[in-house]
Structure 1
Amino acid sequence: MPAPAELADRLARHGQEHVLRFWDELSDDQRQRLAGQLDAIDLDEIAALYAGDVDQPDWEAAARRAEPPRAMRLADRQSGQGGGLGVTREEAEKRGKAALDAGKVGVLLVAGGQGSRLGFEKPKGMYPIGPVSAATLLQIHLEKAVALAERHGVGVPVYLMTSPVTHDDTVEFLAEHDRFGLAEDDLFIFRQGTMPAVDKETGKLLLADKGELFLSPDGHGGTVAALATYKSGTSGKSGTSGKSEMAGRPGGENAVEHMKRRGIECLYYLQVDNPLIPIGDKELIGYHLATDSELTSVAVAKETPDEKLGNFVMLDGKLCVIEYSDFPAEVAAQTDEGGGLRFWAGSIAVHVFGVAFLERMLALKDALPFHIAKKKVPHLGADGEPVDPSEPNALKFERFIFDLLPQAENPIVVEYAEEEIFAPLKNAPGAPKDTAEYVQRFLVNQHRGWLQAAGVELPADTPVEISPLWALDAEGVLERAARGPIAVDGPTYLR
């Protein structure tokens, strides 16, 4: 059975007809799957990206004319002063609390990654990271949302973005655990889109199998489009990609529609691999609101010029992030009058977005540019045999959420101490940082610090873990301590 003429002609016009070479060997289901994947791809866009017709900024040149960002520095936060934003900590906390009390805050949690680099062949959100409890990353984050809702007396919806490779496992896992206490309407799971990889020498689409394109998630920048395209109630497995899987059942709502129904005006954005984040932090939300910012970002101070964090900078009056790989070493090493790094502000992928801003960005087709990366991509050769390249053989196309910064009104940066907000799980044991042991040490230190600040006596070097349902933060621990003594005489999980 030949491929449909319309499909074959469309592919031939772009020199991509090779993806149908195994069509006669496919079952009807496999043909439908491949046709759906191809229907979802903008072949003109792929051709333009490969040809270099899409603008790619010269980031190294841009870095050489950049200025440090407008920011609330950590010292000013800790002293209670207004700092570079002109807003005191007390004012910020008051504004943030009011928004949380009014039910205007939601959480945007990105969970599209697998744990392969950790030797964990499941979605990373299912990794058991609790130092005493073995609670998973998803459990910790969702229980924080439950505790936040209890504190403020109103639901705090979580918009959880998966990817095609993590979606089904994540949905099943959360159903098994009854969403870790979140109300059904407080958890909106949606799936990001994908982009095909192409051969870097020819621009040809690559096949993962005879009836399947090689597709990968379109980057955390794909969050924006997925908020509007993925409908609640979408049925079927997540193996296919693009328009066909995003359609949803009649009557379903997308995430933006859900936000509007719930009255959500700002979103606290984070990635699933970082369990240290104070989700819904009223101070950060308050700075965002008090400065009329459309996009507020958290920074930590870089310890060394070559630290692998994106750099917040000002370019032509616009706030931007330049990736560490695009930042010239001599610029990164520049110092200020006090001898500190001039470009100190490292991005940790924690933001607050205005929902109205995201809606405005959705109306712009090219709000987020594609970044092109050379990667090793296993694929099916012309003879139908697997090819496992030893060198980068393909181009992948991704969008990054921080590229929204230049388009936001009044974007700001707020500095936090690394130990209070940033311990991402990225590496297998043996790496110098960002391993499970590293993250667990940060969690234990944070929780021990909260308890000691509340006057609780702790045995030396004893692991203690606090469930968000027992106390959300240092303030919650103080409230617990005021009710009666807290005993810790060995490894303890307070829940």
Structure 2
Amino acid sequence: MGDSVDSNDLSIPPLPLLERLKDYGQEDVFACWNELSAEERHLLVKDIEALDLPRIDRIIRCSFQSQGIPKAAIEPVPESNVSTVENRTMEEREKWWKMGLKAILEGKLGVLLLSGGQGTRLGSSDPKGCFNIGLPSGKSLFQLQAERILRVQMLAAQSVNEDAGSARVTPIHWYIMTSPFTDEATRKFFENHKYFGLEADQVTFFQQGTIPCVSRDGRFIMETPYKVAKSPDGNGGVYLALKSSGLLEDMAMRGIKYLDCYGVDNALVRVADPTFLGYFIEAGVASAAKVVRKAYPQEKVGVFVQRGKGGPVSVVEYSELDQSLASEINQGTGRLRYCWSNVCLHMFTLDFLNQVANGLEKDSIYHLAEKSIPSIHGHTVGFKLEQFIFDAFPYAPSTALFEVVREEEFAPVKNANGSNFDTPDSARLLVLRLHARWVAATGGFLTHSVPLYATGVEVSPLCSYAGEDLEAICRGRTFHAPCEITF
């Protein structure tokens, strides 16, 4: 129990607190006061005292007022801002790969994982990163990502001149944003698995914030008679969380200049991708994003756009994009005009992150997500208030897009098996098929007891990051799919 309020004095709501709530139209949180026990009254007071009421009121008002305000007209992102797969030369790829490895060797890259969500749509209450998508190895998403970091460190060490001996690689620091709902379970999962081979001190966990859920008239929804319903403040909460936890200073102290930022639920994510990093450094921009081409006009993905002629690059959610615009074709190429899908694979400079951490909070515009929220009245329709990671892009003085091949880098894990798309089964197949192509390209052979389209092989990230260095393991060998290929 806290000590700011004596539970013996709670026959009526504390007057100063009640007056403050009235100032913001939230006095209804005490509606069940007379029915509460002394302990429950104490819990309710502590819950309310922990809220920054002026800030939350400002967020609610600004967010409600911003709804329906016409946004600036949009234009397709200029071609000069996009590095496409078809226009990329082998020489450029090799140059960027080497530039990226050099920066990693020098400790200039940090990795930032957005992992605040639970796997509720997957039928699990565990953090999403704990999920096993059914690969032959049984590895979780967290383990796959940790081993890719280890592999990049290994590649960076190998990239230096052999005369330098065993070069010391500064470990890639991994910042993992959890939420109050996933923090403890995430930390325990890493501890129980000995950080998947990483050093414990190269992993830092920090929590995103929460914000009260509100009704359609902007009032707090009560989860219980003595507790306000709250939800995480969206993956865009990462900026404020980095600032308030002091981690932006921590990054600067470590010599980090670039942050690779991604969402946890992508089984093919190339964590700490040297090629993307090298491209980012050469482009000299403040922010960048990997993008995939939109598969069809109605695909439910946000797309990158330019806000007006010469305006900032930003993301428009699929629900906000007019269907006529979504279907527009570029007459010159025959492709969709608005084709660059946001798949939450971003790169930022640390300088820009510092700017955003101050700017986003100052503006305090949150998205209203209408949801069914557990409350004292059963499930109530209300709003969760969220910021998104892509809310930062309009602040960037310069943004570049880097096209990647969907089948090589994007295997989302969002819905339970049996759904139509983005399931553990679909992600597993994408991994197995990609790795089967790697094996075949390096002279290996596959046999299989089920149809080839339903199977493949898994290559351990510790053996290969993107298909490299597999000849010695695979050439002339036959693998019976499905299986895991390790050293």
TM-score by length of 1: 0.86
Q: SS where residue 143 of structure 2 aligns?
A: helix
| Counterpart for residue 351 of structure 1 | 346
Q: Which amino acid aligns with 2:189?
A: F
Cα shift readout 1:341-387 (whole Å, capped 9, x = no counterpart): 01110100100111111112223333563111222212014xxxxx2
User: Mean Cα displacement is larger for which, 25-34 or 360-369?
Assistant: 25-34
Asked if the contact 2:114–2:263 (Cα under 8 Å) also holds between the matched residues in 1, the reply is yes
1:163 aligns with 2:167: no
Asked if the contact 1:48–1:54 (Cα under 8 Å) also holds between the matched residues in 2, the reply is no
1:273 aligns with 2:273: no
1:379 aligns with 2:375: yes
Match among 242, 262, 267 for residue 227 of structure 1 = 242
Shift of 1:463: 3.2
State the distance in 2 between where 1:60 and 1:449 align: 47
Q: Which amino acid aligns with 1:207?
A: M
Match among 321, 325, 332 for residue 326 of structure 2 = 332
Alignment of 1:130-209 (within 5 A): 130-152=134-156, 153-200=169-216, 202-209=217-224
| Counterpart for residue 82 of structure 2 | 71
Q: SS where residue 208 of structure 1 aligns?
A: strand
Shift of 1:20: 2.5
Shift of 1:28: 7.0
Shift of 1:335: 0.6
1:110 aligns with 2:106: no
Shift of 1:199: 1.2
Cα shift readout 1:381-414 (whole Å, capped 9, x = no counterpart): 4xxxxx224xxx2122110111111111221111
In 2 relative to 1, CA 52–229 (structure 1 residues): closer, same or farther, beyond 3 Å?
closer
| Counterpart for residue 14 of structure 1 | 24
| Counterpart for residue 435 of structure 2 | 447
In 2 relative to 1, CA 313–368 (structure 1 residues): closer, same or farther, beyond 3 Å?
farther
In 2 relative to 1, CA 167–298 (structure 1 residues): closer, same or farther, beyond 3 Å?
same
Match among 353, 358, 362 for residue 357 of structure 2 = 362
Q: Which amino acid aligns with 1:488?
A: F
Unpaired stretches in structure 2, ≥5 consecutive residues: 1-9, 157-168
State the distance in 2 between where 1:23 and 1:176 align: 43
Cα shift readout 1:47-76 (whole Å, capped 9, x = no counterpart): 4454457663768754x5423342111211
Match among 485, 490, 493 for residue 484 of structure 2 = 493
Asked if the contact 2:13–2:30 (Cα under 8 Å) also holds between the matched residues in 1, the reply is yes
Alignment of 1:245-260 (within 5 A): 254-260=246-252
Asked if the contact 1:267–1:353 (Cα under 8 Å) also holds between the matched residues in 2, the reply is yes
| Counterpart for residue 413 of structure 1 | 401
Give identity over the alignment, percent. 32
In 2 relative to 1, CA 440–56 (structure 1 residues): closer, same or farther, beyond 3 Å?
same
Q: Which amino acid aligns with 1:404?
A: A
State the distance in 2 between where 1:31 and 1:146 align: 50
State the distance in 2 between where 1:476 and 1:394 align: 52
State the distance in 2 between where 1:430 and 1:53 align: 36
| Counterpart for residue 251 of structure 1 | none
Cα shift readout 1:77-136 (whole Å, capped 9, x = no counterpart): 2x348xxxxxx3333223212111111111111111111111122211111124212211
| Counterpart for residue 246 of structure 1 | none
Cα shift readout 1:31-58 (whole Å, capped 9, x = no counterpart): 5654444234343444445445766376
Shift of 1:138: 1.0
State the distance in 2 between where 1:52 and 1:154 align: 43
Q: Which amino acid aligns with 2:150?
A: V
In 2 relative to 1, CA 106–31 (structure 1 residues): closer, same or farther, beyond 3 Å?
farther
Asked if the contact 1:60–1:326 (Cα under 8 Å) also holds between the matched residues in 2, the reply is no
In 2 relative to 1, CA 25–477 (structure 1 residues): closer, same or farther, beyond 3 Å?
farther
1:432 aligns with 2:446: no
Q: SS where residue 458 of structure 1 aligns?
A: strand
Q: SS where residue 140 of structure 1 aligns?
A: helix
Matched residue count: 453
Match among 36, 49, 66 for residue 56 of structure 1 = 66
In 2 relative to 1, CA 421–401 (structure 1 residues): closer, same or farther, beyond 3 Å?
same
Q: CA RMSD in A?
A: 2.3
State the distance in 2 between where 1:50 and 1:216 align: 14
State the distance in 1 between where 2:239 and 2:286 align: 14
State the distance in 2 between where 1:176 and 1:399 align: 32
Shift of 1:320: 0.7
Asked if the contact 1:113–1:166 (Cα under 8 Å) also holds between the matched residues in 2, the reply is yes
In 2 relative to 1, CA 199–490 (structure 1 residues): closer, same or farther, beyond 3 Å?
closer
State the distance in 2 between where 1:465 and 1:431 align: 24
| Counterpart for residue 300 of structure 1 | 292
In 2 relative to 1, CA 492–59 (structure 1 residues): closer, same or farther, beyond 3 Å?
farther
User: Mean Cα displacement is larger for which, 131-140 or 141-150?
Assistant: 141-150
1:465 aligns with 2:458: yes
Shift of 1:4: 3.0
Alignment of 1:18-29 (within 5 A): 18-23=28-33
| Counterpart for residue 228 of structure 2 | 213
Cα shift readout 1:419-471 (whole Å, capped 9, x = no counterpart): 11111101122222211110000010111111112111122535311221232
In 2 relative to 1, CA 148–27 (structure 1 residues): closer, same or farther, beyond 3 Å?
farther
Q: Which amino acid aligns with 1:76?
A: N
Unpaired stretches in structure 1, ≥5 consecutive residues: 82-87, 231-253, 382-386
State the distance in 2 between where 1:59 and 1:262 align: 42
Asked if the contact 1:268–1:280 (Cα under 8 Å) also holds between the matched residues in 2, the reply is yes
Q: Which amino acid aligns with 1:190?
A: F
